[in-house]
């Protein structure tokens, strides 16, 4: 099954991007037309990552439904479970695939980098924030 070779590629890319840091979650976006079963991918990932530094990480899949855009009437149609590439508006088949072919790693969630403290949670100390010390508990 091709999910296994896909997982090997994911492992390569992730290992390079993580650069030694511990990966917790690999966020991926996968289009319907890729014919990848997210559940199978997740399962294969466990096998592929098992004996590597990536063991324990998991894949989170954002599944992108296939959509087509009609060249005649410009309506965008969401393709159903069984892809029928005809416009829902006019029935035309002169259509263009506008989504569903995605296959990419969108982000990695890494362990213990205190990412939450990096950009928020603290008032900026650049003068503009003067005079209102720590009243941020409301709402």
Give the up-direction half-sphere exposure of residue 114: CA atoms within 13 A in the CB hemisphere: 3
Interface with Zn ion, residue 8, by CB under 5 A: no
Kindly tell me which residue out of 65, 83, 89, 136 binds Zn ion, with binding defined by CB under 5 A.
Answer: 89
- Residue 64 CB, shortest distance to Zn ion, in Å, is 21
- Residue 34 CB, shortest distance to Zn ion, in Å, is 25
- Residue 29 CB, shortest distance to Zn ion, in Å, is 27
Q: How far is CA 40 from CA 2, 13, 35, 55, 59, in A?
A: 10, 19, 11, 17, 11
Q: How far is CA 114 from CA 111, 118, 136, in A?
A: 8, 7, 20
Kindly tell me which residue out of 73, 93, 104, 115 binds Zn ion, with binding defined by CB under 5 A.
Answer: 73
The two three-digit tokens of residue 25, written as one number: 């979650």
What is the 3 state secondary structure string of 16-47?
HHHCCCCEEEEEEEEEHHHCCCHHHHHHHHHH
Interface with Zn ion, residue 79, by CB under 5 A: no
Kindly tell me which residue out of 72, 106, 107, 122 binds Zn ion, with binding defined by CB under 5 A.
Answer: 72
Kindly tell me which residue out of 92, 97, 103, 105 binds Zn ion, with binding defined by CB under 5 A.
Answer: 92
- Residue 68 CB, shortest distance to Zn ion, in Å, is 9
List interacting residues with Zn ion (CB under 5 A). Answer: 70, 72-73, 75, 87, 89-90, 92
């Amino acid at each position: 099954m091709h999910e296994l070779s896909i997982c090997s590629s994911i492992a390569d890319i992730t290992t390079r991007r993580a650069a030694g840091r511990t990966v917790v979650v690999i966020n991926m976006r996968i289009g319907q037309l890729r014919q990848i079963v997210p559940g199978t991918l997740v399962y294969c990932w466990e096998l592929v990552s098992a004996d590597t530094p990536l063991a324990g990480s998991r894949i989170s899949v954002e599944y992108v439904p296939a959509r087509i855009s009609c060249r005649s009437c410009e309506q965008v149609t969401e393709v159903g479970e069984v892809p029928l590439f005809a416009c829902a508006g006019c029935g035309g088949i002169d259509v263009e695939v506008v989504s569903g072919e995605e296959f990419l790693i969108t982000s990695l969630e890494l362990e213990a980098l205190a990412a939450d403290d990096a950009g928020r949670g603290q008032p900026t100390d650049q003068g503009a924030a003067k005079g209102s010390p720590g009243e941020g508990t409301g709402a």
